[in-house]
Amino acid sequence: MPPDNIKIIDNPSYKKLLEIFSGMKSFSQIVSFLELIGIKNASLSEAFSNLPEVQEQLKILYIPDKFNGYFSQVGWVAYESLNVDLMQKAIELADQSKFEEAENLLTDYYNEQTLQWLLITMLGVKEFRNREKLAKLAKEDYLAERYYACVPILLMLIDGLVNDIEQTGFFAEGTDLTAWDSIAAHSSGLQELSKLFRVNRKKTSTEKITIPYRNGILHGRDLGYANKIVAAKCWAALFAIKDWAIAISKGNKNPPIEQKQSIIEIFQDFLDMQNLKRSINDWKSRELTVGIDVPSTGCPDDYEKYIPERTFAEFMLYWVNSNYGKMATLITDYLDIPINKKAGQVRQEFGHIKPIDFLLISINDTAPATTTIIATLKYIEKDEEKTCEINADLIYMDEAHKATLRGEPNGMWSIHQRSFNPIIYSNPV
Task: Name 367's Cβ contacts closer than 8 Å, sequence gap at least 6.
Answer: 113, 116, 117, 120
Closest of 113, 143, 119 to residue 131, by C-alpha: 119
Domain residue extents for the chain:
8-279, 300-424
Q: Does domain 300-424 have CATH number 2.60.40.1120?
A: no
User: C-alpha dihedral over 155, 229, 107, 73, to 10 degrees?
Assistant: -80
d(CA 410, CA 400): 10
Tell me phi and psi for residue 94, to 5 degrees: -65, -35
How many Cα atoms occupy the beta-carbon half-sphere of 357 within 13 Å?
5
Question: What's the pTM value of the predicted model, to 2 decimals?
Answer: 0.65
Instruction: Assign 152 a pLDDT band (cuts: 50, 70, 90).
Output: very high
Are 201 and 216 in contact, with CB atoms under 8 Å apart? yes
Answer whether 11's CB lies under 8 Å from 181's CB. yes
Least Cα distance to 81 among 300, 254, 237, 249 occurs for: 237
How do strand 205-208 and strand 222-224 relate by DSSP bridges? parallel
Whole-number average pLDDT of the chain: 82
Adjacency order of strands within the sheet including 353-367: 353-367, 370-381, 384-397, 412-415
Helix H or strand E encompassing 338: none
290 DSSP 8-state letter: B
> Residue 3 above 50 pLDDT?
no
Predicted pLDDT of residue 10? 72
Say yes or no to pLDDT of 24 above 80. Answer: no
Which distant-in-sequence residues (6+ apart) come within 8 Å of 329 by Cβ? Answer: 335, 342
Task: Give the mean model confidence (pLDDT) for residues 343-360.
Answer: 88
Using the predicted structure, report yes or no on whether residue 1 has a pLDDT greater than 60: no
Look at residue 45 and tell me whether its pLDDT is greater than 80.
no
DSSP H/E element including 11: none
Q: Output b/e per residue, 290-325; b: 16+ Cβ within 10 A.
A: beeebeeebebeebeeebbbbbbbbbbbbbeeeebe
How do residues 172-218 score in pLDDT, each as one tens digit? 998 999 887 888 988 899 999 999 999 999 999 999 999 999 999 99
Residue 17 confidence (pLDDT):
60
Which is it for strands 222-224 and 353-367: parallel, antiparallel or unpaired?
unpaired
The percent of the chain in helix, strand and coil, each rounded to the nearest 5, is: 55, 15, 35
pLDDT tier for residue 272 given thresholds of 50, 70 and 90: low
Q: How far apart are CA 283 and CA 114, in angstroms?
A: 12
φ, ψ of residue 125 to 5 degrees: the values are: -105, 110
Residues 6+ apart with CB under 8 A from 71: 77, 90, 94, 102, 103, 106
